[in-house]
Amino acid sequence: MLFTCDTRTRTILARVQPAFLDHPRPIAFAHRGGAAHRPENSWLAFEHAVRLGYTYLETDARATADGALIAFHDRTLDRATDRTGTVAELRHREVAAARIGGTEPIPLIEDLLGAWPGARFNIDLKDALAVRPLIRALRRTAAWDRVCVTSFSARRLRAARRLLDRPVCVALSPAGVTRLRLAGRMRRRGGTLARWLALSGAGCAQVPAHTATAPFMRQAHALGLQVHVWTLNQRHEMERALDLGADGIMTDETVMLRDLLAERGEWLTGPRASGQAG
């Protein structure tokens, strides 16, 4: 059930879409660079995705004890690298000695932003310590329009929004997604919901497959939100999400998604990412 929009609500919903989202849809996201093909969040993974034609790269952000912002998912080095220890308790020189999968160095977020100036990065803030280093990285690289900030923590997202110097694409927090789902069952909540959404600054909802139902898609789209579905690694999952109207798909299986979109005439990479990693 969709809400009924009055004139004031329609005005609120007619906000400018973040530049990060101005790409033809559906958007293909290389999750952790495309972890099915190369070590996750490694230079090799991002390079592979860019060569395939991906313009959107998804990664994670954690800060070391001395404030270096790295592209790394886990709280500890143990699973993904040949070293052990908690990232937030280690200095960058110690983390830099670790190798993803035993072979690949862990990139700095700022270096990734600089390596491919034509690419856009979906960055998941994994801890509160990463917020300020991310803001500093965005200031130094002027990558405001090339980044979407997301997190499983509404508190982290609020902290990031308070510190941002310029508008940046932000995804709904899980709490925001729940609010959107519940509001879809109620009438006459459109104005309240739209005003809350405008204050949140969110431009998209990034959700797992079980949340990306047809009613949720309609509700989000009625509010002007894009829906990006994660992390789909089976062809039938990708097809279902696309058929329901997903605006973006995140996958480790970057070759599979590229080929599926090409078959559907929807492989729309836009301007190619450019630059050399170093």
Q: Which residue has the higher pLDDT, 165 or 125?
A: 125
Provide the residue range defining the domain that includes 168: 7-15+24-63+119-263
Catalytic residue among 31, 37, 48, 228: 31
Domain-located, residue 144: yes
pLDDT at 1: 45
> CB–CB of 216/196 below 8 Å?
no
Asked whether the predicted pLDDT for residue 275 surpasses 80, the reply is no
Q: What is the mean pLDDT of residues 29-37?
A: 98
Catalytic residue among 23, 37, 48, 73: 73
Confidence of residue 269 (pLDDT cuts 50, 70, 90): low
Q: ∠ at Cα 160 (154, 165), nearest 5°?
A: 150
Asked whether the predicted pLDDT for residue 173 surpasses 80, the reply is yes
Q: Which residue has the higher pLDDT, 200 or 38?
A: 38
Q: What is the mean pLDDT of residues 30-46?
A: 98
pLDDT at 274: 46
Question: What is the rounded distance in angstroms from the CA atom of residue 94 to the CA atom of residue 201?
Answer: 37
pLDDT at 183: 73
What CATH code is carried by the domain that includes residue 136? 3.20.20.190
Domain-located, residue 112: no
Confidence of residue 13 (pLDDT cuts 50, 70, 90): very low
Domains of the chain: total: 1
Say whether 263 sits in a helix, a strand or coil: helix
Q: Which residue has the higher pLDDT, 250 or 277?
A: 250
What is the rounded average pLDDT for all residues in the chain? 89
> CB–CB of 274/117 below 8 Å?
yes
Question: What is the rounded distance in angstroms from the CA atom of residue 20 to the CA atom of residue 57?
Answer: 12
Indicate if 221 belongs to the active site. no
pLDDT tens across 77-125, in order?
A: 999 999 999 999 999 999 999 999 999 999 999 999 999 999 999 999 9
* pTM reported for the whole predicted model: 0.90
The two three-digit tokens of residue 12, written as one number: 């609120």
Domain-located, residue 113: no
Domain-located, residue 187: yes
Domain-located, residue 134: yes
Cis peptide before 26 (omega within 30 of 0): yes
Q: Is the dihedral of CA 149, 151, 157, 159 positive or negative?
A: negative
Question: What is the rounded distance in angstroms from the CA atom of residue 235 to the CA atom of residue 245?
Answer: 16
Domain-located, residue 76: no
| Total count of residues recorded for the chain | 278
Q: ∠ at Cα 165 (59, 154), nearest 5°?
A: 50
Domain-located, residue 72: no
Strand 69-71 and strand 56-63: pairing? Answer: antiparallel
Domain-located, residue 28: yes
Q: What is the mean pLDDT of residues 147-171?
A: 94
Range from 189-193, 212-216, 273-277 carrying the lowest mean pLDDT: 273-277
